[in-house]
Every structure is written in C-alpha cells, then in structure tokens.
Chains A and B, each alone.
Chain A
Amino acid sequence: MADLLLELFSEEIPARMQQRAATDFQKLVTNGLVEAGLTYDSAAAFVTPRRLCLTVCGVLAQSPTTRTERKGPRVDAPEKAIEGFLRGVGLTKEQLEIRDEKKGQVYFALIEKQGRPAADIIAELVPDVIRNFPWPKSMRWGTGKLRWVRPLHSILCILHDESGAEVVPFDVDGIVAGNQTRGHRFHAPDAFPVNSFDAYRAGLHKAFVQLDSAERRNHIWADATNLAFAQGMEVVEDAGLLNEVAGLVEWPVVLMGDIADDFLDLPPEVLQSSMREHQKFFSVKNPKTGRIEKFITVANRETADQGATILAGNQKVLFARLSDAKFFWENDLRVPLSDMVAKLANVTFHNKLGTEADRIARIAKLARALAPVVGADADLAGQAADLAKADLSSEMVYEFPELQGLMGRYYAQAAGLPQEVANACEQHYSPLGPSDDVPSEPVSVAVALADKLDKLTGFWAIDEKPTGSKDPFALRRAALGVIRLLLENDIRLPLLTVEGLNEDLLSFFHDRLKVYLRDQGIPHDVIDACLSMAGNDDLTLLVKRATALAAFVKTDDGTNLLQGYKRANNILSQAESKDGVEYSYGADIKFSETDVENALFAALETANTQIKPALEAEDFAAAMLAMAALRAPIDAFFEAVQINADNDIVRRNRLNLLGEIRKTMGAVADFTKLEG
C-alpha cells in the first residue's frame, strides 16, 4: 500500500470556483481508482489560488486479479454466433472450455484480468480526469489544445510509502508529471521536490503557502476580529466575502485601515457595498457610534514595513472609490425625486408592458385602490407608489444596483417626505424570499402589493407565465410575496376583484399557496378541501379555514368524524347512482324509527344552529367544534341502524338523513377531498 499525492499547479484559479473544483477533483480521482479496483483508506483535497491538491492514503499497490466466466453458444451453434462470442471475450476457440450441459455441449470462456500496478492505473486515470475536468468555464492558451481553468503549468504526481517516493510517469499535452512544486509567487517562487504529503504541506508552509482554505479562513477571521477588538470595534460578519478572500491569497496577512472622515456620513450600506464589491474589504463597525469607521483588507504577503505601503495603497484606492460614491450621493440629492421619475419615461420595462413610467402609473392606481383594504391613506399610498421606483434612475443605484429601494428611502427622507412614503420606497420590494421580512406599515403594504400584483397581471396578460424551471421574471417569488403580505398582515382581499386577475392567475396563486402552506405543515388535501369552498380568492379566509381544519382532522373526533363522513358519502353515492336521484331533500323526523336516529336529528339541528353563525363570524374553530359534536351520534347511527331498510320510505328518509350530514359538514369544507 502507498499514498498518492497529486498537485495541479496553474495560474490563478477564480476564487468562486475553488471549493467545487477541490470536491470534483477528489471525487473523480477516487471514483476512478475504485472503478479500476484500487481501494484506499482516506482522501482529502485542498485548493489555493494556484493549485489543486489531492492526497489519497492507503492505495492498494496493485489492483486484484479477477476471474470471470462467460457462457457462450452451443458447440453446434452457427459459426457466426461463435465468432461473435470470440470477438466479445477476446479469445480464440482453442482457449474456450467445453462443458456438458443439459441441452448439449456449450462453450465457456474463462476470462482472467490480471491485476495492474497502481502507477499504471493512475498514469491512465489522471490525464483523463484533467482532460475532462468539469470547470464551469475553461480555456485554451498558447498553441495547445488542452482546456483548463487558466494555463496549467505543472503536475506533481507521486506514490509514496516508508521506503520512498516514485513519480507516476505520464504527460498531458507536454506537461510531464514530476515531484516538484513551487511556493508563493513572490516569497518563494523556486521549485522544490517533495516525497510525501507531510513534506509537501510543510514545505509549502515554509514557502509561504497555507494549503488548507479552512485554515486560511480561520486565520483571516481570527486576525481580523482581534485587530478590530483591540480598537474597541467589531468586524461586520460576511461569510461569502470571507470565502472569497480566502480564495484570493496563499499567505494571508490581515491589515486594518481608516475610512476618511469625509465619508463617514455616507449611508453605511453605501460604504459597505462600495468596499465589499469593489475592494473585497470587510467593514468594521464602531459599536459606540453605530457607524462603519474602519476597514479590513487581506494582503497576500508579508513586507519589510509590516504592510504599511500596501495599506496606504488600499486606503488611497478606497478614497477614490468613496469619492465616486460621494459624488453620486451628492448629485442624486440635488435631483428632485420627480425628475428622477421623469427619466424613467425613457426606460423600457418590457417591450410589451411599456416603460418604467407606465408601470409606475399602473402601480400607483392600484395602490390607491388597495389603500382602504389595507388600512392605508390613499393619497400617501399613491404618492409612495409614484416615487418608489425613482431611485432606479439615480447615479448611485446605477453604480450599485443592490442598493435599489434603500437609496430611494434615503432620497425621500432627504426630500422631507412623510416617513411612511420613505419607508415604502425601501420596503415595497419586500418580501423577496420565503424568509425575508414582510412590511407591516399600511402604506408600504399597499405599494408592495400593487407592485407585485401589477407584475403578475401584466405578465399574465402578455402570456409570459413561468414554465417548469423557467421563471425569468421571478413571478413565483412575486406571488409568494403577495401571499405573505396578505396572510401576515391579515388582509382580506378577494383577488378576483383586482383588475386583470383572472381564474388562471388565481389558480397559480393557489399552487403557490399550497407550496407555502406545506412548508408550514398543512397537508395539501386539507387545502384542497378548503379551495372548493366559496370565497377561495380571499387567501386569508382560505388559510383561516385550512388552519382550523388541519387542527381538527388531527383530533380523535376529527379522524372519526371524517370516517363517518366518508361512510355516509359512499353509501349516498352508491344509492344516488343506483336510484338516479339526489338525496338532498331533507329528512323528516316523523319517519324516524329509533332513538339513535332521533338523536342524530337533534345533533344535526344543534350543529346547524351553531355552525351557521360561526361561519358567518369566520370562527372556523367554533364551526369545527360544533361538528365534533356530531361524531358520537353518527357513530351510533351507523352502529345501530340499517340504512337500506325494507320499507322504502324509511330507507329514503335515512338516505336523506345522510344527505343532511353531507350538507352540514359541506358548509364547513369539502370533506370529499380529505384523505385518510
């Protein structure tokens, strides 16, 4: 047994591709080894900006020899069949064995596959892995045909054990595998040989390369938080940025610098975006002022001046960046919001749905109409909708699109507009996902609903609906946004009253609602049972009913009552199809023959008198409770009474009594849709 060490050394690998590449590298090589019969004990992959590394421990020295047997044609089979078999197994007729079987003499091929040395298998496998590596984007360079993420410079491939290390000999497009690697580009660029993974890792560390990205991440975060802590500050957490930065350096050196006073009054989000997107800086917050006052940058080397020159350079770049941001901020503040909106008349939203200005007009109209429903002032809602998209034409949002909405709030505040209007500028995009906060201020809710409903009705009108995995306009997200806005704010809006919202779009809402409620633990059959009821375009009502029903069917009474209902319904359906009538005339107690029948009559009457007002009051829990009282009389009824009595009048009366049960319960939900 030996250990395999592989390193693919290239020009800088994009940070975002590194982790995936390490995983793929390990999987492709180890799968290939196992397929060839080489098992191993353990494997680990590493990645830095310039190298992909894999160590596989305890690899078999050679693959085991295998013997397989294949049954061929009969000896007296046509010559062609025998030839075909020989071709398939790669043997001559003389090498076949003849055995006596029940049906006569049959050829058998005994195929022995000799085990092969690990080095031979690896020398075939690795070039194949390299040539077919699944980079998201790959390239050619020079005159070569090989594709890699960036030019590949060297390959290290050795098998090593206590007795020493051997290079596994192969080459890929002229790159010959060897036992050499290189250290840090600037600190230790010379090649050096290695004879084991331990020597490789230690040698790299001496050559200013931290091989393990987790180690680099921990190092960066520990140093960053320490530097900040020493100044009484805290680093703003950013896991995505930390990953990226760890993928940009082999030898991280963490430095902290100041943000010039000129910029401390910029909105903190602007500082953060500017530093993160362009410079890959972490933001450092002063908890006393709540402002972002410093930044952390991560260099890829040590210097004689402890990074002073590097830090000064970074600070200067930041100064220029923030000057730009400040320039945008100040320019934007000079432009009245109405002028920003006017510019949107030239911006196309969608070629079939007009300009951004057209869209804003529609949203404003809808927001005004919705205002009374959500408890907002119509004028404020209209004003907010008019201005909510203004920042799309601001210089700041042009530069930092992720700040849309937020800048709108700042600019509306600066213009002295009512706080509700300013908040709506920011919040009307929400909620953006299933876990995003839902706005609760009425004006924001009105604009947020109008924005999303306009989008949905618009794209429905031009027949641009989501299909399968394609949803280019994020309409599913918009529908979920509407659902959450309605439910979490307890808003009663019959969706079919919204202009342009048709049955097809309503059923799209229902589908999204099912997905949403399933995640909340409400089963789909419960929703179906409620969807059949009147008023199903009022999602808030629908969910109230579904929630109560879901709770009810979980109770003992609920489960049994459901069984009773199903039994009643089955009997009725059979009888109705047989008799060709519908038993919904109402039963008459005078044909009742037994106490249990009388009791059921009484129970139904009580239930009806309770259910009707409960439903009117939308108190579904009370309606369910009233139904629960039916369980015992229904059970007793089925226990003691034979429906198909000899007397036809009694029989029909009993069927009609079952019809009463169906009618009473049917007023609450469609129990035929429930499973179980």
Chain B
Amino acid sequence: MSADKPRSFQEILLRLQAYWAAQGCAVLQPYDMEAGAGTFHPATALRSLGSKPWAAAYVQPSRRPTDGRYGENPNRLQHFYQYQVLIKPSPPNFQELYLGSLVAIGIDMDMHDIRFVEDDWESPTLGAWGLGWEVWCDGMEVSQFTYFQQVGGYDCKPVSGELTYGLERLAMYVLGVDHVMDMPFNAPDAPIPLTYGDVFRQTEAEYSRWNFDVADTDVLLQHFIDAENECKNILDNPEVDPKTGKRIIMVHPAYDQCIKASHLFNLLDARGVISVTERQAYIGRVRALAKACADAFVLTEAGGWAA
C-alpha cells in the first residue's frame, strides 16, 4: 500500500496536484490576492453556492498576520500554503478519496493511525458553516474535512465536500522535519538545493515586523472603508451593462473587495488596535459584504441562474 517517500515540500505539492487531477478535479492556480485561507478563493467561496456541479483543486497562499513568529517558531508562519479541494456534490466515497491522497504523498496506511475527530467549521466572515472533522495522523492534524451546509447565508444544495491541507505541517510530518525552515523545498540533491528557510525565513521576519509594529493603522483603516464602499458600489450597478447591453453582474470584482476587507481586518487585528467589542462589528461588516456577493452570485449563470 505504501508509495515511495517524497523528498521535498514541492514534491508533496506536485503529488497532490497529480492525485486530484487524476480524480477529475480541475487543477486551478492560486487566487492572486492576499487571503486568510483557501476557502476565500472564489473557486470555493462562490462556487460552493448554487446547483452547478463543480470539482476543483488548488494551492492557496494564506496569510495570518497574528501567527507571525519572525521565522523562529518551528511551525508557525504568517504566510503559508493551503491545499484546497472542493467537489460539489460531495461524492459518496469522499473519505476514501481523501485517504487515497495521503497514500499518494507517501503515508503508509499500515503504519499510521488516521483518525477523524469532530471539528465543525465556521467562517463568521463568510457567513458559512459546515460539519466534518479534523483529520489526525498519529495525533497530528493534517487536514480539515468539511461538508458545507451554508455559505453566504444560503443552504448548500447540493452539498460541497471540502478538504483543506495545511501543506507545511503535513509536509514536515511526511518528511520528518522538526523545523519548518529546515524543510527541503526542492530536491535535496538538486544542483541548487533550497530549504523552506532559504525561500521564506527573511520574508517571515520582514512581515512579522511590519504586521505587528509598523503597518500604518490609519491607512489600513481607510483601505478597509474604501474596500467596503467599492464592494457596495460595484453591486449597486444595474444588472444590464449600458455599453454592451448585456446582463453582467460584477460579482467577482465585488468579491475581490470583500477579500481585501477581510485581510485588512486581519492586519488591523495583528496591530492590536481592534478591541473585543469592535471585533464583532468588523466581522459583521465583512460578512455583510460576503453575503451581498453571495446574493449576487446566485443570480449569475455560474451560480445556477437560468434566464
């Protein structure tokens, strides 16, 4: 049952891509914006809405400013990669497909203890929730496994099955590395072997300093307000474009502003300028944007709308 062991971070990523491609997923590329998690990619956040079948897999760079540790912590990073799979409707053998992906990256099912431990997922900013598990391999959380029940306030019909792998942590485990920065990024016998630290140690320190102490909070706050206003402005436009005469609802441009607002909130949070009571209010404002985008998306073709 055991596959040969991968030797680098990127090999694990490539194997996941190949595996999910073989299962019929469209292998997409990362969304080109700062996001807190793979879920924010429109391929998940929007495509899990509506009746149209969908199957996608992709890597999403994820930013969590508060988790910055200047590159010193063995496994906490403010910038990391999530591997995301979304299949709608969730296939009956989704658990088996998932376990197959672990075999594909070299986890020997005969030697390890894989467990599905209750962990319900909720994204207050996306107005979304689902039921599922965190998947443990020998006590280590290697993935989130969720059946989406609601997104943007809408019941998911059909239900999407979602997988999220924390790539660094999973790879460290598979490769037997104790500190993320020591992990081989490319093949250790490549002409120019690079570790994860060669690629990211410096940026982790730079961003940690900026996130925690330097980012101009007044500017961030203004950006947040701008993104919020722009999102609303975009969606306030009439459905029919006066220039082309076509029905064009600009969901994705509006949703970009929602992603922006969410990340700006995370940055403000890391700067410690948001009090406990204000927190809820900010989250509510981002959720209102996500909800408005969801409302608009279900009126588009990709959202299952038929003229």
Mark A residues whose CB is within 8 Å of B. 11-12, 14-16, 49, 137, 139-143, 149-151, 153, 185-186, 248-249, 279-281, 297, 299-301, 303-305, 309-310, 312-314, 316-320, 323-324, 327, 346-348, 351
Contact = CB atoms under 8 A, between A and B. Distances in A.
A456 B157 CA distance: 48
A346 B159 CA distance: 42
Given A16-B118, A248-B115, A139 B110 contact: no
A150 B277 contact: no
B272 A346 contact: yes
In the A-B complex, list the 5 residue pairs whose CB atoms are closest, starting with the nearest: A313-B138, A14-B118, A12-B116, A314-B139, A299-B113
Nearest to B117: A248
26 contacts: A11-B116, A12-B117, A12-B118, A139-B130, A139-B149, A140-B157, A142-B90, A142-B91, A142-B158, A142-B159, A149-B131, A151-B147, A186-B114, A249-B115, A279-B139, A300-B113, A305-B111, A309-B111, A310-B113, A312-B138, A313-B112, A314-B140, A316-B173, A320-B74, A347-B275, A348-B277
Nearest to B274: A346
A245 B61 CA distance: 34
B182 interface: no
B75 interface: yes
B105 to A, nearest CB: 15
B140 A313 contact: yes
Nearest to A323: B74
Tell which of B118, B120, B140, B157 has the most Cβ of chain A within 10 Å.
B118
B237 interface: no
Tell which of A141, A248, A305 has the most Cβ of chain B within 10 Å.
A141
Interface of B: 73-76, 89-92, 95, 109-118, 120, 130-133, 137-140, 147, 149, 156-159, 161, 173, 178, 272, 275-277
A309 B118 contact: no
Given A140-B157, A297-B139, 19 more contacts: A11-B95, A139-B131, A141-B89, A141-B147, A143-B158, A151-B92, A186-B114, A280-B117, A299-B113, A300-B113, A300-B114, A303-B111, A303-B112, A304-B111, A309-B112, A313-B138, A313-B173, A314-B139, A317-B138
Nearest to B116: A12
B131 A309 contact: no
- State the main secondary structure of chain B at its contact with A: loop
Nearest to A185: B114
Contacts of A11: 95, 116
A275 B279 CA distance: 30
Contact of A320 (B75, B118, B130, B272): B75
A297 B140 CA distance: 12
Contact of A139 (B95, B117, B147, B275): B147
Contacts of A346: 272, 275
B112 A310 contact: yes
A302 to B, nearest CB: 10
Given A279-B139, A348-B276, A141 B90 contact: yes
B73 A309 contact: no
Contacts of A323: 73-74
Given A142-B89, A348-B277, A313 B139 contact: yes
A342 to B, nearest CB: 12
Contacts of B137: 313
Contacts of A185: 114
B90 A303 contact: no
A143 B156 CA distance: 10
Contacts of A143: 89, 157-159
A324 B133 CA distance: 23
Nearest to B69: A327
B302 to A, nearest CB: 19
Nearest to A249: B115
A314 B149 CA distance: 32
Contacts of B75: 320
A414 to B, nearest CB: 23
Contacts of B161: 141
Contacts of A249: 115
Contacts of B275: 346-348
Contacts of B111: 303-305, 309-310
Contacts of A248: 115, 117
A584 B205 CA distance: 88
Contacts of B158: 142-143
B276 A347 contact: yes
Nearest to B156: A140
A12 B132 CA distance: 9
Contacts of B132: 150
Tell which of B91, B95, B116, B178 has the most Cβ of chain A within 10 Å.
B116
A137 B120 contact: yes
B139 to A, nearest CB: 4
Contacts of A297: 139
A297 B112 CA distance: 13
A299 B157 CA distance: 36
Contact of B110 (A141, A142, A151, A303): A303
A186 B114 CA distance: 9
A301 B173 CA distance: 19
A128 B74 CA distance: 52
Contacts of B109: 186
A314 B138 contact: yes
A281 B91 CA distance: 33
Contacts of B173: 313, 316
A185 B140 CA distance: 19
B23 to A, nearest CB: 16
Nearest to A349: B276
Contacts of A299: 113, 138
A304 B115 contact: no
B51 to A, nearest CB: 9
B131 A12 contact: no
Contact of A351 (B116, B131, B277): B277
A313 B277 CA distance: 40
Contact of B140 (A14, A141, A317): A317
A149 B131 CA distance: 9
Nearest to A298: B113
Contacts of A139: 130-131, 147, 149, 159
Nearest to B272: A346
Contact of A150 (B110, B112, B131, B178): B131
Tell which of B95, B113, B131 has the most Cβ of chain A within 10 Å.
B113
Contacts of A142: 89-92, 158-159
A303 B137 CA distance: 14
A316 B131 contact: no
A280 B115 CA distance: 12
Nearest to A346: B275
A394 B168 CA distance: 28
A498 B188 CA distance: 72
B160 to A, nearest CB: 10
Contacts of A300: 113-115
B57 to A, nearest CB: 19
Tell which of A142, A301, A346, A351 has the most Cβ of chain B within 10 Å.
A142
